[in-house]
Amino acid sequence: MKEWYDAIKEAQSVEKLEEIRISVFGKKGVLAAEFAKMKSAPNDQKAQIAKDLNTHKSSLMNEFTARKITLQTLQLQEAMKAESIDVSLFTSKSQAGALHPVMETMDRIVEYFTAMNFAVKTGNMVEDDFNNFEALNLPKYHPARDMQDTFYFKDEMLLRTHTSPVQIRTMMNTKPPIRMIAPGAVFRRDYDLTHTPMFHQVEGLLVDDEGKVSFANLKYILEDFLKYMFGDIEVRFRPSFFPFTEPSAEVDISCVFCKGEGCRVCSHTGWLEVLGCGIVDPNVFKAVKYKNVSGYAFGLGVERFAMLIHQIGDLRSLFEGDIKLLEQFQ
Ligand code: DAH
């Protein structure tokens, strides 16, 4: 028996100990064999043999249990050492997502106008000639169509060149008064430093009874809006031309880079053009069969706003998806 006590004490692993357990306590183990032998022992010795065997059995079991606990503890300690985590170590920086500056700018624009009670409307990116041009007082062969190089499909369908067709769609299926903005992507055949074939605009339209909407109303809201977007700036209105508005104006803000002093970005004028606007042309109302109404409209390019707000120099960098650039807007 002594060898088995030694074997248990010297077992170096839980697996080895398990083998020993089977050899000692198993059905075919040493103890079972000893008990079997007892049957052929003289009757008067049987009781003593059984007593001795049972004493060994329980002491061996105690040894076994003690050794098992020791080995398991050692095994656990070793595993913990191997798997330990140093929480004070530096890790690689985790990457959090962020809104693209164009979307963030669009959200701010929408935030201003929804607070001013303008509803947000979306139209279709694939438009027809009527909504994109005709109803906006741009009949076929009108020279102003050349201002917007168009991607055409078959059957006079096209990719909208501006968000102004959403005005038409909204007026065609709603009665006045109207107070809406239309944010969205637009498409033109253009690609250089300052133009990309896809960009974003926000269109605005307000329509009410005849005589109720004036250029002064338009001027007030656009000035307030531009100060909300750019902070402490000057705003000026310059007479201009758009087929869908009469009179029309382009709106400038004092240069955000040089504060109006004159720099390369503002071509030394001190001013930056940021949007177009005007009083809705009667021909537009005629096209949507509106009578006895007046209104104003405006349109702006979101990328331009984003570039001026974040002082980004190259329009194309907004579309390259360069993580190094985008990370700066978290
Ligand atoms: N649709 C014009 C463009 O894409 C922007 C614009 C100018 C919209 C004046 C208007 C407006 O509603 O009144 O260049």
Ligand 1 mutation target, pool 127, 161, 162, 171, most atoms within 8 A of CB:
162
Task: Check whether residue 118 and residue 75 sit in a common domain.
Answer: no
Task: Check whether residue 109 and residue 146 sit in a common domain.
Answer: yes
Ligand 1 pocket, residue 164 CB under 6 Å = yes
Task: Check whether residue 173 and residue 306 sit in a common domain.
Answer: yes
Task: Check whether residue 105 and residue 73 sit in a common domain.
Answer: no
DSSP 120-184: E----SEEEHHHHTGGGT--TT-GGGGGS---B-STTEEE-SSSTHHHHHHHHHSPSPEEEEEEE
Task: Check whether residue 220 and residue 283 sit in a common domain.
Answer: yes
What's the confidence (pLDDT) of residue 51? 92
Question: CA-to-CA distance for 11 and 4, rounded, in angstroms?
Answer: 10
Angle separating helix axes 2-10 and 14-25, nearest 10 degrees: 160
CATH number at 129 reads 3.30.930.10
Task: Check whether residue 260 and residue 213 sit in a common domain.
Answer: yes
What's the confidence (pLDDT) of residue 314? 82
**88 within domain boundaries:** no
**52 within domain boundaries:** yes
Phi, psi of 31 (to 5 degrees): -65, -45
Q: Which residue has the higher pLDDT, 250 or 147?
A: 250
**188 within domain boundaries:** yes
Both tokens assigned to 290: 């509106």
Task: Check whether residue 118 and residue 154 sit in a common domain.
Answer: yes
**96 within domain boundaries:** no
Count of domains forming the chain: 2
Cis geometry, peptide bond prior to residue 247 (ω within 30 degrees of 0): yes
**89 within domain boundaries:** no
**291 within domain boundaries:** yes
| pLDDT of 250 above 90 | yes
- What's the 277 CA to ligand 1 centre distance in angstroms? 6
Task: Check whether residue 133 and residue 71 sit in a common domain.
Answer: no
- What's the 245 CA to ligand 1 centre distance in angstroms? 8
Average pLDDT over residues 114-118: 98
| pLDDT of 294 above 80 | yes
- What's the 242 CA to ligand 1 centre distance in angstroms? 7
Q: Which residue has the higher pLDDT, 34 or 226?
A: 226
- Residue 137 pLDDT grade (very low, low, confident, very high; cuts 50, 70, 90): very high
Final residue before a domain boundary, out of 14, 44, 79: 79
| pLDDT of 108 above 90 | yes
Ligand 1 pocket, residue 188 CB under 6 Å = no
Which range has the worst mean pLDDT, 16-30, 134-148, 195-209?
134-148
Task: Check whether residue 16 and residue 108 sit in a common domain.
Answer: no
Average pLDDT over residues 71-100: 85
**190 within domain boundaries:** yes
Ligand 1 pocket, residue 242 CB under 6 Å = yes
Q: Could you identify the atom of ligand 1 that is nearest to the CA of residue 186?
A: 4
Task: Check whether residue 36 and residue 117 sit in a common domain.
Answer: no
- What's the 159 CA to ligand 1 centre distance in angstroms? 16
**91 within domain boundaries:** no
Quick: pLDDT tens for 18-64: 999 999 999 999 989 888 888 888 888 888 988 999 999 999 999 99
Task: Check whether residue 175 and residue 251 sit in a common domain.
Answer: yes
**Residues with Cβ within 8 Å of residue 11, at least 6 apart in sequence:** 17, 20, 67, 71
- Residue 180 pLDDT grade (very low, low, confident, very high; cuts 50, 70, 90): very high
- Provide the residue range defining the domain that includes 29: 2-79
Task: Check whether residue 200 and residue 136 sit in a common domain.
Answer: yes
- What's the 300 CA to ligand 1 centre distance in angstroms? 7
Quick: pLDDT tens for 253-271: 999 999 989 998 899 999 9
- Residue 246 pLDDT grade (very low, low, confident, very high; cuts 50, 70, 90): very high
| pLDDT of 292 above 90 | yes
What's the confidence (pLDDT) of residue 116? 97
